[in-house]
Amino acid sequence: MLIIFKGIGWKGKIQKKKHTSFISVSKLVVIGNVLENKDEVYSYLADYNGRCVMITFLDGKPKNKEDPEPKPVEHNCFLDEKEK
pLDDT per position as a tens digit, 24-66: 888 888 898 899 999 999 988 888 888 888 889 898 888 887 7
Domain for residue 72, yes or no?
yes
Domain for residue 68, yes or no?
yes
Number of domains in the chain: 1
**What is the identity of the amino acid at 22?**
F
- Beta bridge partners of residue 54, listed in sequence order: 45
Domain for residue 47, yes or no?
yes
Domain for residue 5, yes or no?
no
Residue 46 near residue 54, CB atoms below 8 Å: yes
pLDDT at 79 over 70: no
Of 80, 35, 77, nearest in space to 54 by CA: 77
Domain of 68?
Answer: 20-83
